Chains A and B, each alone.
Chain A
Amino acid sequence: MSTQEMHLLTTKQAMLTALAFVQDSLERLEHIRFNDEAWDEKDVDVDYAVGLAPVHIKSLRATLPSDRAVFDNQWFMAAAAVALSARTFSRTDCHYFRALASLQKKFEVLRAMVEFVALENKGVEA
């Protein structure tokens, strides 16, 4: 077995990693939100939109799909809620915004990582 194969994750393992990681980040974000003393009620839409993301992530985590299109679909719904929130949030010089922007990047990078692993696995099978 080559080093490459020894280290190789299954696609579902990559999905689980991505999901567990963003779920942890979402929980941290929620924590920052509750401790944010400068929170302005005009950001109420952000509150609700970000609240939707864990719903999609948890549902994916409960039954990891074999079909990557199913994964992508749910993943994008969660990612869109975060991206829109980052774009419309009223303050930019605060902990919450930086965490939100960092989470937006994580969503992009981790989706690409799952795709990378799926393609690598295809290459090994072929």
Chain B
Amino acid sequence: MTSKNNAASKAAQAEPCQKQAASSFVVQLPTVQQAIHLACSVLVDSLKDVIKAASDRDQWRDEYQDSITATELALAVVQQLQAEAPSDADAFDAQWWRATAVTRLARDAFPNKESGAWSRLRIAVDEFDSLYRMVDFLAIKAEQEGGAA
């Protein structure tokens, strides 16, 4: 019993140092595939938000139709990427830029710049730009570290 206690107290003394080592060791950057999936998930959420905000019965105006149909198209592309991300980086880029371009056009053509739908479109375009760069950053980093993605 005594010896057990002794071991326990030694372990307790050693613990803070181990904990520190563990916390800085465990957290690692995601893989490129994980990052692509996350970027798609964020955009699916945001694009659905745009459609929901515009389609609200009190908010809807017929002149929103073109922008919202375009947003639905972008959503379909991103959902496809989310379901099966292409292993080829160029194929991902092409699809991602297609969805980005359509959303940007939807934003620029949106008639009511005071609406919640417009500000959500603006956010979605920013997300397309920034998250693309984030995926790119992780891909370059993975390559530098020996293609361990």
Contacts and interface: CB of A to CB of B under 8 A. Distances in A.
Is the pairing of A and B real? yes
Given A109-B126, A110-B130, A64 B27 contact: yes
Interface residues of B, number: 25
B126 A108 contact: yes
Given A7-B37, A13-B29, A108-B126, A24 B42 contact: no
Interface string B128-140: 0111011001100
Main DSSP-derived SS at the A contact region? helix
Interface residues of A, number: 27
A70 interface: no
B30 A17 contact: yes
A116 interface: yes
A118 B83 CA distance: 21
Interface of B: 23, 27-30, 33-35, 37-38, 41-42, 45, 83, 123, 126-127, 129-131, 133-134, 137-138, 141
Given A17-B138, A113-B38, 11 more contacts: A7-B33, A7-B38, A9-B38, A13-B28, A14-B38, A25-B133, A63-B23, A102-B130, A110-B134, A112-B127, A116-B38
